[in-house]
A and B are shown apart, each in its own frame.
Chain A
Amino acid sequence: MKLQTATQHDLALCEVCGQLGKLANNAQCIRCATRLHHRKPHSIQYTWALLIAAYVLYVPANLLPIMETRSLFGVQRDTILSGVAFLWNSGSWILALIVFIASVAVPMLKLLSMTLLVVSVQIKNTMAPLPRARLYRLLELIGRWSMLDVYVVAILVALVQAQSLATMAPGPGVLAFGAVVVLSMLATMAFDPRLIWDTANQTEINGEVSTHANQSTAA
């Protein structure tokens, strides 16, 4: 059976109600009157802008302290990584691992994977659309868990206040880190997963023609 896509027939799904509609200038959904778009508008540009902003903030997020503890023994400044190290050294290995995954591994892998996806779409790569689509679905699912450290800092700071022992205050790193999480979530939302399939779909539709052409050039 030949592959049929919505694009081939100038059709597009309504973003709000999921109704299939005919694309035209200023076309509206017949059910809910939302403007129809073939793809999310300016998907690649928005994704790049948000990704670059996230990369820039990723540096201070990891270098600046996220928390400052003042006690009789002086001031201790904790970054994300030193927080993980503290949990590890105090014997809470499972929690250390959870915090490491949520705060260190996920943000970095998410930024790198999104970059990979956008670049693969821009160079019109047709390889492995399904694994790439799965990767995108995974990114949508796990991005939110990076907010973990922001919550931990918030609770610690609220509790360890005006005590005789110590006071904790949030450091500038937590602001940068929160911004990285929000920006990378926005980048994932701005990206349109159908872009991953567009080139592959086009190649499959023109399948026979292009393989024939390739053979003749090879010969």
Chain B
Amino acid sequence: MRDLTACPECDLLLNSTHVTATKGGATCPRCAAELFRRHPDSLERSLALTCAALVLLFLANSFPIVGLNIQGHQVETTLFGTARQLWRDDMPIVAVLLLATTVVIPLVEMLAMAWILFPLRFQRRPPGFALLIRALQLAHPWAMVEVFILGVLVSLVKLSHLADVLPGPAIWCFGALMLVLAALSTVLDHRTLWQSWERAA
């Protein structure tokens, strides 16, 4: 029973010893679903990337994303400013959707990661571990920083027909945040987290 596992996508019963693991991890021999990933120093790297993401998230929300220069008249907007304008235009649901997918969910995700990874790094079991893992699984598809970057680029092009556009510092912070989050999702593996949790006291 200990050596048995199943493919999460096609239900194939697998013997862990038969699963041919390559250096990076293992996939299901029948449907090629990812079974697990292996990364050296997974916990340390995840922790470092989580801290970097928290700093970048803070910076990305403190600076303007885009500015406009219309006949000498300057306007610029931050992410919160964007959400505030949607709220004023009677679109509170869209404002909430915007803030949730670009700020709130990534922030909650990173805080939960830090809460989990710090104790695990020192062989301690974080309180509420299973609950937080479940929350992370549910929240993950809703963090859409990379889509937001593309949205900013498209609006830059659209606005360039109206006026001079000035890309704000927050664009670079969001760009870096996107890369850090992508790196984090390749380094982090839930099987590794559970194994460290089992080892910890």
A: residues with CB less than 8 A from B are 3-9, 11-13, 15-20, 31-34, 86-87, 90, 92, 95, 98-99, 102, 129-130, 133, 137, 140, 144-145, 147-161, 163-166, 169-170, 174-175, 178, 182, 185, 189, 193-194, 196-198, 201
In the complex, the answer to whether A144 meets B130 with C-beta atoms within 8 Å is no
- A173: min CB distance to chain B, Å: 11
- Closest A residue to B96 by beta carbon equals A178
Contact check, B155 vs A152: say whether CB atoms are below 8 A apart. yes
Which residue of B86, B158, B162 is within 8 Å of A87 (Cβ)? B158
In the bound complex, do residue B154 and residue A148 qualify as a contact, i.e. CB atoms below 8 Å apart?
Answer: yes
User: Which B residue's beta carbon lies closest to that of A192?
Assistant: B9
Q: Mind listing 9 A-B residue pairs with CB under 8 Å?
A: A6-B11, A12-B6, A87-B154, A140-B141, A150-B94, A154-B151, A160-B159, A165-B70, A197-B31
Shortest B135–chain A CB gap in Å is 10
Query: Which residues of chain B come closer than 8 Å to A5, judged between CB atoms?
Result: 6, 11-13
Residues from chain A with a CB closer than 8 A to the CB of B77 are: 155, 158-159
Kindly identify which residue among B11, B68, B83, B91 contacts A194, using a CB–CB cutoff of 8 Å: B11
What is the CA–CA distance of A155 and B12 in the complex, to the nearest angstrom? 47
For the complex formed, measure the closest distance between the CB of A147 and the CB atoms of chain B, giving whole angstroms: 5
B73 at the A interface (CB under 8 A): yes
Interface of chain A, helix or strand or loop or mixed?
helix
- Chain A positions within 8 Å of B4 at CB level: 11, 20
Contact (Cβ within 8 A) A18 B81: no
Other contacts beyond A8-B13, A148-B154: 19, CB < 8 A: A5-B11, A15-B134, A16-B133, A17-B190, A20-B5, A32-B133, A87-B157, A98-B150, A129-B31, A133-B9, A147-B101, A148-B150, A150-B94, A155-B65, A159-B155, A160-B68, A163-B75, A164-B70, A165-B70
Number of interface residues of B (CB under 8 A): 62
Question: Is A154 in contact with B82, judged by CB distance below 8 angstroms?
Answer: yes
Q: Tell me the interface secondary structure of chain B in the complex.
A: helix
Task: Write out the residue numbers on chain B whose beta carbons fall within 8 Å of the beta carbon of A129.
Answer: 10, 31
Which residue from chain B places its CB closest to the CB of A30 in the assembled complex? B1
Cβ of A185: which chain B residues have Cβ within 8 Å of it? 141-142
Contact A178 B93 (CB under 8 A): yes
- B17 CB–A CB distance under 8 Å: no
Question: Are A155 and B11 neighbours in the complex by a CB distance under 8 Å?
Answer: no
Cβ A18 vs Cβ B190 within 8 A: yes
B8 at the interface (CB under 8 A from A): yes
Chain B residue numbers with a CB within 8 Å of A151 are 98, 147-148, 150-152, 155
Inter-subunit contact A147/B144 (CB<8 Å): yes
- Chain A residues with CB under 8 Å of B161's CB are 90
Closest 6 CB pairs of A and B: A151-B151, A6-B6, A32-B130, A158-B82, A155-B155, A4-B13
* CB pair A156 B158 closer than 8 Å: yes
Q: Which residues of B contact A98 (CB under 8 A)?
A: 150, 154
Q: Which residues of B contact A12 (CB under 8 A)?
A: 6
Is there an interface contact between A95 and B11, defined as CB atoms closer than 8 Å? Answer: no
